[in-house]
Structure 1
């Protein structure tokens, strides 16, 4: 799959996925997804449609929708799929929060290395809460609070996505990850986290490969995720993920004049 095709697939997915939020909103060439159950900016954000060329008025309307809800105006998108969006947002005062490389896995590239720990699918409230707490520890508090995180993970699984975790020998959840339901032929794998005490034991590779395999079994043509550094990239490449493109995160640094 070429870079241009993959960028458009990822961006089409981003828009379709936000339309699944409890309160989706379309504004010009943007789709914003809102969930009143949380104020997290990592759940409530917007993305452009591929090829969007927003006017300043559309950007202002998008900002107003966030501010009306008391939320931080924030976007995530593949800039090469909508090259006119970034300049329009920067004119409005948006600044860079992060730039991440994304990697893509297909059924043809997925590999299952030997020796990985077995993974489990959570079923009970206790298991979802345990996973939420483990991810909160893994990400140093950046992940939603345990109770909220558990609720979001359960919702992901109930709505056609998947969650996998590894139980350590001492009975604790060692690490976990989740993957969205497929949309536009692809699915996003996210929140791969391992508790510090269990790192270096193949936990991340195990949950990543298990989730990709589960989504391929449901008909997804590809699964993609974002790499946050060389260490994590090596883990993902080990199970068949390959470079795909770039995702840009922008947030409003100052109110519109």
Structure 2
């Protein structure tokens, strides 16, 4: 499963507006943002990597005006971390990734007073992004580039879902990237603070995952950033499967 997940990350970055091939690495660049969480690199699973490859990767990031940063499944490049640390990179985080298959998915009831909806208009997309930004501690606003990014995800076969109150307010939501070889990453699961502790995060996660499987995906995966989110994902059928590393050069 590790190789399959890593291959899906390579495919996701290769589909960015301005991907760069840098030896055994793929850098996914998006001209609409300088965010390191969107502009990062990953190695091709099993490819031999040398210190010279790391030096070339850093140069490619610098030439593009982006911070050198990688995310990857550790077992797919077991010697890479040591090369990166020698080059001055520092570990940001180590995460477990969790996987769900169609037979494991549990669909919890949607909390009363909420509806799951796929955003269609620019207003709806901006509301979803703003709610996600607020939930993750940023300003609750969305740029034109942010909206265009989610529109591109949807047009390529990805999924975006927003949770809407009876009054029409966006309480949260999430996304999934277009599946590649039957695999898709679920990300951005967020609920605004005043709507938490009602089961909404689980309903959003299951709603996105169920739509992926209905469209033919075989595997959905995600990462848990806290014990609370870990419990949410496990309740709807996700199980820890492997390790991922976030590492960057300031």
Q: TM-score, normalised by structure 1?
A: 0.92
Pair 1:110 & 2:99 matched: no
Match of 1:206 among 178, 200, 203: 203
Per the alignment, in what secondary structure is the counterpart of residue 190 of structure 1? strand
In the alignment, which residue of structure 2 is the partner of 1:187? 184
In the alignment, which residue of structure 2 is the partner of 1:69? 64
Partners of 1:192 and 1:186 in 2: CA distance: 18
Partners of 1:202 and 1:153 in 2: CA distance: 25
In the alignment, which residue of structure 2 is the partner of 1:91? 86
Quick one: structure 1 residues 184 and 85, their matched pair in 2 at CA, closer, same or farther if it must change by over 3 Å?
farther
In the alignment, which residue of structure 1 is the partner of 2:231? 234
Deviation at 1:153, TM superposition (A): 1.9
Q: TM-score, normalised by structure 2?
A: 0.94
For the 8 Å contact 1:55–1:88, the answer to whether it is kept is yes
Deviation at 1:114, TM superposition (A): 2.8
Partners of 2:9 and 2:2 in 1: CA distance: 10
In the alignment, which residue of structure 1 is the partner of 2:73? 78
Quick one: structure 1 residues 115 and 126, their matched pair in 2 at CA, closer, same or farther if it must change by over 3 Å?
closer
Q: Can you give the 5+ residue segments of structure 1 that lack an aligned partner in the other structure?
A: 1-5
Q: Can you give the 5+ residue segments of structure 2 that lack an aligned partner in the other structure?
A: none
Match of 1:38 among 11, 24, 33: 33
What aligned pairs does 1:212-251 form with structure 2 within 5 A after superposition?
A: 212-251=209-248
Runs of 4+ in 1 over 4 A off after TM superposition: none
Pair 1:168 & 2:168 matched: no
In the alignment, which residue of structure 2 is the partner of 1:28? 23
Quick one: structure 1 residues 223 and 91, their matched pair in 2 at CA, closer, same or farther if it must change by over 3 Å?
same
Deviation at 1:115, TM superposition (A): 4.3
